[in-house]
């Protein structure tokens, strides 16, 4: 198989799958446009153009997933997981998790919305770092779990207990953002490369069951950014208190 054939392997299936995924959203939009929205022609055409651009982008992305992300993640996991010193997966998992979250498209949409709605008070770069560090920690813990055969419950139950405790002291705005950050972190980048890596590692390590041990990493990735975003709220709270003290001192002078 030459390079061109590899690029377009099962391309027709990808086109059809993305079409089926987007068509219900487009149909609902068209029905609402006729029955209630009645958008101006220029706005309506712009939205349709956006659908076309999204469709083309998703087709190209999903094709890249099939021919690159999944095979690379699988090969990477099998090779390193089968090494004698497979503990190297722990720091590698941290780096991989950070990079995957840093490149996740849904994460960038989220942090941009946060920065706009808070008028720049919460910087997108700071929120991106919080989410990326959360995902990095989650992938690192997932590698620890795979290497040493630790049950997923020992991570999820304490993790959500921490979330519930923190939610008592965190500003409600940050609670809402935290849970959304957990959702966007488990986007297509995570669900393709990291999940394939995890399953391959479980397959390569003796005594691990890919079905029992390989899965569960997405649950950890959904949890960790919630915690890091809530912890970030304490930084902003402390900064706000410091600013108030400085303002009060300035007024007194």
Q: What is the C-alpha separation between 178 and 226, in angstroms, rounded?
A: 4
Is residue 247 situated within a structural domain? no
Residue 54 near residue 22 (C-beta atoms within 8 A): yes
Residue-wise pLDDT tens digits, 33-59: 999 888 999 999 999 999 999 999 989
Residues 126 and 102 in one domain: yes
Structural domain that includes position 229: 82-241
Written as six digits, the tokens of 186 are 């488990």
Whether residue 77 is contained in a domain is answered as no
d(CA 242, CA 230): 19
Is 249 domain-assigned?
no
Whether 253 maps to a domain, the answer reads no
pLDDT in tens, 150-178: 888 999 999 999 999 999 988 888 898 99
Report yes or no on 197 lying in a domain: yes
Please check whether residues 90 and 185 belong to one and the same domain: yes
CA 252 to chain centre: 47
Share of the chain above pLDDT 90, in %: 39
**Residues 195, 171 within the same domain:** yes
Shared-domain flag, residues 194 and 231: yes
Number of domains comprising the chain: 2
Same domain for 194 and 105, yes or no, is yes
Q: Could you tell me if 116 and 56 lie in one domain?
A: no
Same domain (yes/no): 12, 127: no
Q: What's the pLDDT tens digit per position in 12-36?
A: 888 999 999 999 999 999 999 999 8
- If asked whether residues 141 and 86 sit together in one domain, one would say yes
Give the whole-number percent of the chain exceeding pLDDT 70. 94
């Amino acid at each position: 198989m030459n390079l061109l054939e590899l690029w377009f392997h099962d391309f027709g299936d990808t086109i059809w799958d993305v079409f089926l995924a987007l068509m219900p959203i487009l149909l609902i939009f068209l029905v609402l446009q006729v029955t209630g929205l009645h958008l101006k022609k220029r706005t309506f055409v712009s939205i349709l153009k956006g659908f076309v651009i999204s469709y083309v982008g998703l087709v190209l992305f999903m094709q890249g997933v099939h021919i690159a992300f999944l095979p690379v993640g699988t090969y990477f996991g099998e090779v390193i997981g089968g090494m004698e010193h497979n503990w190297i997966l722990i720091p590698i998992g941290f780096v991989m998790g950070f990079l995957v979250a840093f490149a996740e498209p849904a994460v960038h949409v989220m942090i941009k919305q946060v920065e706009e709605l808070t008028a720049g008070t919460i910087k997108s770069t700071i929120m991106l770092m919080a989410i990326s560090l959360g995902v990095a920690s989650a992938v690192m813990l997932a590698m620890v779990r795979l290497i040493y055969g630790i049950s997923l419950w020992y991570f999820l139950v304490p993790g959500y207990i921490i979330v519930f405790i923190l939610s008592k002291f965190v500003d409600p705005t940050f609670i809402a953002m935290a849970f959304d950050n957990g959702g966007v972190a488990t986007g297509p980048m995570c669900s393709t490369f990291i999940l394939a890596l995890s399953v391959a590692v479980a397959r390569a390590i003796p005594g691990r069951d890919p079905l029992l041990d390989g899965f569960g990493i997405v649950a950890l990735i959904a949890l960790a950014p919630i915690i890091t975003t809530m912890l970030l709220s304490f930084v902003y709270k402390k900064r706000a208190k410091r600013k108030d003290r400085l303002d009060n001192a300035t007024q007194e002078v």
